[in-house]
Amino acid sequence: MAEQQELILAIERYDRHFPFFDGTVTPPEGFELKVMQVGQSANLRDGTKRHNRMLKGEFDVAEFSMSSYVMAKGRGMPITGIPVFPRRLFSQSQMWVHPDSNLWHPRDLVGKKVALSSFQTTLSLLAKGDMKFHYGVPWEGIHWLSTTEEKVKFKAKEGVKIDFIGDYENLGNLLKTGEIDAFFLPHPPHSVVSGKTPARRLFADPKAEELAYFKAVGDFPIMHVVAIRQELIDRAPWLARAVYDMFNQAKDIAESYYEDPNWARLAWGRHDYEEERKLFPRDPWENGFRRNKANIERFIKYSHDQNLIDAIYPPENLFAKETLDT
């Protein structure tokens, strides 16, 4: 038997990724998986973050920030993507304000101070782009405060005010004292989600707002993509499609978990699952290039509008050609 080559995979431990950690997925032929749980939270040091380590060539395959990936490809960095999107979020539920404020809509934030993870973080990109292109509110009129360093260097749009404040975990207190007016984060600080520091979502009914958004744009916004080292794809182009198939197998296995009404610790987990299937006419988590092309094009447009990339380029440029027929 030929010796198996190690394939180092760096991902977060979401339910859709459990099959990688328990060994129920089938790795590509000739490869043995080494699965690593590697986080990307804002409170991690840069040297421990998954995206930074992938750009340094530490992993073969990794879950990667969609925004930073679009920037990386625009700058010719040695990674390539497959159309697998393991993390998705609507921006509307990630906009937080003080509960006693009179802020209820993105237009109320013009002229205010809004904290972000980094300016280029995917949720930051999405929220700013949605403000401008979905709600008609110019994101340029907000004073942005970043709490983490940028992964890929860029030059800010002329006239846009961005200041670095750090202090991610203290954002709840900054909101409480009025030093900031809002924050947009993919991971709200522990003090907020635990209820220790008062905060509320910007929209009075964020779920209804997100459903309306979904009906308008037709998809669940991408947060992360799966990236592969370019050197590996150059040596074995077929691997791109094999890794794509492996992630879809994991997705199918994870879907089957919800057949057990008590699989999740949420008392109504199965009810919520069934409700979601009724609300979304198509699988909001579906992978593949063609199904997600409009979603990807919107991110490229947002990125260009925010000066994160120099030009709008075809979404096909982001992915291994072996996966473009998916």
Report pLDDT digits (tens) over 193-219.
888 889 999 999 999 999 999 999 999
* Cα–Cα distance measured from residue 219 to residue 292, given in angstroms and rounded to the nearest whole number: 8
Q: How far apart are CA 288 and CA 293, in angstroms?
A: 9
Structural domains in the chain plus CATH codes? 5-89+221-323 (3.40.190.10), 92-217 (3.40.190.10)
197-232 as b/e: b if 16+ CB within 10 A: bebbbbbeebeebbeebbeeeebbbbbbbbbbbeeb
Residues facing residue 115 across a β-bridge: 145, 183
N-to-C CA span, the chain: 32
Q: How many CB atoms sit inside 10 A of residue 317's CB? A: 12
For residue 48, the model assigns a pLDDT of 53
Note the pLDDT tens digit of each residue in 28-79: 999 999 999 987 654 444 445 777 788 788 999 999 999 999 999 888 889 9
The confidence score (pLDDT) of residue 56 equals: 81
Residue 229 bridge partners (DSSP): 79
Pairing of strands 222-229, 61-65: antiparallel
Spatial distance between the Cα atoms of 149 and 166, rounded to a whole number of angstroms: 8
pLDDT at residue 190, rounded to an integer: 87
Round the average pLDDT of the chain to a whole number and report it: 92
pLDDT of amino acid 45: 47
Indicate the residue type of 230.
Answer: Q
Q: What is d(CA 50, CA 53) in angstroms, rounded to the nearest whole number?
A: 5
Q: Which DSSP state fits 149?
A: -
pLDDT beneath 70: ranges in the chain: 1-2, 40-48
Check residue 195 and give its pLDDT. 86
Query: Where does residue 260 rank: exposed (0-12), middle (13-18), buried (19+ CB within 10 A)?
Result: exposed
Q: Are 323 and 250 in contact (CB under 8 A)?
A: no
User: What percent of the chain stands above pLDDT 90?
Assistant: 80
In which order are the strands placed within the sheet that holds 61-65? 31-37, 5-11, 61-65, 222-229, 79-88
